[in-house]
Chains A and B, each alone.
Chain A
Amino acid sequence: MIPGDYVALAVILFVIGAVGVLIRRNAMVIFMCIELMLNAVNLAFVAFARLHGTIDGQVIAFFVMVVAAAEVVVGLAILMAIFRSRRSASVDDANLLKY
């Protein structure tokens, strides 16, 4: 267990997730990329907790998981509502508030 390597992996996963959020247009995939970023941050929390020998980081990661679960529930409900009215899950189509 080398915390530096864990943090490096977390950085790479976070960047991949961020790029995915930027380049994809399917709202579901964007959502999954956000989950990927949250997971990467959790990994960094666990690595730093191990680095310091405490487990406060694990508690924070646990709370992040709870918040992520709540976020997914609400976000997917919004997505379904949008899909129901627009028949599309693409973020390009929901542009009524543009300009």
Chain B
Amino acid sequence: MNAAHVLAASTVGAGAVVAFWILAVISVAAALGLVLAPRAVHGAVLLAVVMLSLAVLYGVAGAPFLAFVQIIVYTGAVLMLFLFVLMIVGVSAADSMRETIRGQRLAAGLAGIGLLVLLALVVGHAAIGPAAPAGSNYGVLNVQRLAQLIFTRYVFPFELTSALLITAALGAMVLAHRERTSPKPSQRDLARQRVRGDHPAPLPGPGVYARGDAADMPALLPDGTPSPLSLNPVMARRRGSAIRVPGPGVPAPLPPGEPGKDGGPDAEPDREGAHP
């Protein structure tokens, strides 16, 4: 097996081997980062790193079509979808790394080591030899050969994927659709609510100072204290903000009926309607 490796390495050229080792290190490190990063956004970016390195590996392995599909579909579409949903769910929500089930992390680690040993034994016993000589399937004709296969031998699974995609699109529409439980407030209702509320005038805007001009700077009241009304609650919740709106940095969970305040999917864009 070792001799086979040496033989294969001598035939494939050093460039592919060097590329493999660099990308292998990068992708494994990024995958570990994905598992260990407390913030989901960092995990998404690290997952993009893994996917891009795998795309390059596909290219090295003689699958240029898959390399580009990997970049377009995975890195382009799937990860963008992940990031969009992360924006909706809340970027700043860091996962607490505290264990809720005692011994769960240890058990998970043991299970992972067991799985790794099992798979390593299987792969190690498989005596995977060097790659077969690349025929006309690889190289410039790769895309044509793939198309021939997809539209001849795999035409039925290919047609099934269309049904799958339509089902997925319908399912996403059904699941993401929100039934209104109360009638949509009209402009008249909103105006009345605002006049009857304790704040008929517009809320104060964020502060504009000589040293900072940003939406996360609170306006100052006449006595010099920052005004909590001038900030979007999402901004006020960020670290380093001058205002602590609900509590010490922890986003207060809202009751399910209340309209979203923190940029949720159903958050109304007007701050007037959201503040109590």
How would residues 18 to 51 of chain B score, 1 for a CB under 8 Å from any chain A CB and 0 otherwise? 0010001001100110110000100110010011
| B265 contacts across to A, CB distance below 8 A | 80, 83-84
Are A81 and B176 closer than 8 Å at their CB atoms?
yes
CB-CB contacts below 8 Å: A1-40 with B: 1-9, 11-20, 22-26, 28-29, 31-33, 35-36, 39
Residue B60, interface by CB 8 Å? yes
For B32, give the chain A residue with the smallest CB separation.
A16
With beta carbons under 8 angstroms apart, the residue of A9, A25, A28 that contacts B86 is A28
- B133 surroundings in chain A (CB, below 8 A): 53
Q: How far is the CB of B255 from chain A (nearest CB, A)?
A: 9
Q: State the interface size on chain A (CB cutoff 8 A).
A: 74
- Contact in complex: B28, A12 (CB < 8 Å): yes
Q: Please report the C-alpha to C-alpha distance between residue A46 and residue B128 in the assembled complex, in whole angstroms.
A: 14
Are the CB atoms of A9 and B256 closer together than 8 Å?
A: no
Beyond A55-B149, A89-B89, whether A70 also contacts B165 by CB under 8 A is yes
Looking at the complex, which of B166-174, B207-215, B216-224 is the stretch in contact with chain A?
Answer: B166-174
Q: How far is the CB of A33 from chain B (nearest CB, A)?
A: 7
* A19 in contact with B128 given A8-B123, A28-B85, A74-B171 (CB within 8 Å): no
In B222-276, which residues have CB < 8 Å from any A CB?
Answer: 253-254, 256, 264-266
Q: In B122-153, which residues have CB < 8 Å from any A CB? A: 123, 126, 128-135, 137-138, 142, 145-146, 149-150, 153
What are the residues of chain A within 8 A of B24 when measuring CB–CB?
5, 9
Q: State which of B9, B32, B57, B69 has its C-beta within 8 Å of the C-beta of A62.
A: B69
CA distance in complex: A92, B98 (Å) = 12
A91 nearest in chain B by CB position: B100
B128 & A74 in contact (Cβ 8 Å cutoff): no
On chain A, the residues within 8 Å of B73 by CB distance are 65, 69
Give 13 new A-B contacts, CB below 8 A, not counting A12-B116, A35-B78, A68-B78. Answer: A2-B17, A9-B57, A13-B50, A23-B104, A29-B43, A35-B74, A53-B138, A61-B63, A69-B77, A69-B78, A74-B172, A79-B85, A84-B265
Interface residues of B, Cβ cutoff 8 Å to A: 1, 5, 8-9, 12, 16-17, 20, 24, 27-28, 31-32, 34-35, 40, 43-44, 47, 50-51, 54, 57-58, 60-63, 65-66, 69-70, 73-74, 77-78, 81-82, 85-86, 88-90, 93, 95, 100, 104-105, 107-109, 111-112, 115-116, 119-120, 123, 126, 128-135, 137-138, 142, 145-146, 149-150, 153-154, 157-158, 161, 164-165, 167-169, 171-172, 175-176, 178, 253-254, 256, 264-266
Q: List 6 A-B contacts (CB under 8 A).
A: A16-B32, A26-B95, A29-B34, A66-B164, A88-B253, A92-B100
A binding-site residues for B, Cβ under 8 Å = 1-9, 11-20, 22-26, 28-29, 31-33, 35-36, 39, 42-43, 46-47, 49-56, 58-59, 61-63, 65-74, 76-81, 83-90, 92
